[in-house]
Amino acid sequence: MSTQAGTLNQCGGCASSCQHGAQLTRLGIKVRNWDYTIALAGNPNTGKSTIFNQLTGLRQHVGNWAGKTVSRAEGAFNFNDKKFKLVDLPGTYSLLSTSVDEEIARDFILFGKPDVTVIVADATRLERSLHLVLQVLEITSRAVVALNLMDEAGRNGLTIDARELVRELGVPVVPMAARRADGISELLAAIEKVSLNEFPLRARQARYADEELELSIGMLANNLQATFGDLPNARWVALRLLEGDESIINAVRDKTLGTLKTENSLPSMALSEAR
Amino acid sequence: MTLDMLETGCTATVKSINNQSTERRRLFDLGILPGTKIENVMPSPLGDPIAYRVRSSVVALRREQARLIEIEK
């Protein structure tokens, strides 16, 4: 799983036939009766949609411009006799909701209860990517980091110690070059492991030294649970309230917290129409 | 001094961000934090925005945004 830059699989061209052909069936947009939901998050331009297409076999969804994935795009694939629904989220640098994109991504990770959130990180700009990784890990530990663009990082003379990253982050880290289909089978294996609770997740989470702050978080979180019942991550919501996040404050006020916006209320896009 | 005063090709360290709104959050999300090294790479043809290198990626900031960022050389 933890291959390093120098030892990337060179099997790019024939990937679909000899790497994972046996277990992977791409189901395109036939999303029905899935066993697991997988969310794809990441900074803009890190290859989320390339990975989405590799896994689902879809091709409609390509292009290199800002804000291409305006809504959630959905597809499906079969792997080892299990059916996965894959949701491609808009590319964001953050989940703290200063734009519609970020709100869509955040709400899905928080309230869509994906079984696994795959965070696509840019190996050539790892430091920047890790910001979003840590934000997602604050919401959920059920995550896999897809360390994409390893081929480009290699060309730039960068070597990344993926094993150490696994230790530091506490979730699987898969080095990839998605354009050449390198690492796709390893990614599938990691997604499966986390879905089946077979990976010992110890997601790194920020703790605050300020006792008063932790006390307030605890109090708020308890109130939120009492009001909204089964919230996936009351601690995270409490933090946003303390921070003054307007969209979360409004969602608590009008009691819509925890309800995902339906596709109809989201900007329409080709894929959902095609279904 | 503030970031908009940094000459092309020069590097400085971020001291603080003089703003409390979502703009501050946005700059943090881009990796611009107190202590971060930031380089003026080049201006756009009209001189605004300007491209800055931060943590090995290049971001374009408008002059009014750059003015919020307190730096020291």
- pLDDT score recorded for residue A169: 95
pLDDT over 70 for what percent of chain A? 81
Q: Which residues on B lie below 8 Å from A124 (Cβ)?
A: 56
Q: Tell me what the mean pLDDT of segment A127-150 comes to.
A: 94
In sequence order, the 6+-apart residues with CB closer than 8 A to the CB of A187 are A51, A118, A144, A146, A174, A176
Cα distance between residue B66 and residue A219, in whole Å: 39
Q: What is the pLDDT of residues B5-15, one digit of tens each?
A: 999 999 999 99
pLDDT at position A207, please? 76
For residue A92, the distance in angstroms to the closest alpha carbon of chain B comes to 10
- Cβ–Cβ below 8 Å for B26 and A98: yes
- CB–CB contact B31 A128 (8 Å): yes
What mean pLDDT, rounded, does chain A reach?
82
pLDDT recorded at residue A126: 92
Q: Do A125 and B57 touch (CB under 8 A)?
A: yes
**Quick one: pLDDT at residue A97?**
65
| ipTM of predicted assembly, 2 dp | 0.79
- B31 at interface of A, judged by CB pairs closer than 8 A: yes
Instruction: State both tokens at A140.
Output: 């959920």
pLDDT tens across A143-197, in order? 999 999 999 999 999 999 999 999 999 999 999 999 999 999 999 999 999 999 9
Q: Are A65 and A59 in contact (CB under 8 A)?
A: no
* Residue B37 touches chain A, beta carbons under 8 Å: no
pLDDT score recorded for residue B48: 92
Provide the pLDDT for residue A264.
Answer: 41
Query: Rounded CA gap, A176 and A259, in Å?
Result: 34
Residue B23: the pLDDT is 84
**CATH class of the domain comprising B3-72:** mainly beta
d(CA A172, CA A177): 16
Whole-number pLDDT of residue A62: 57
Pairwise CB contact (< 8 Å): A93 & B30: yes
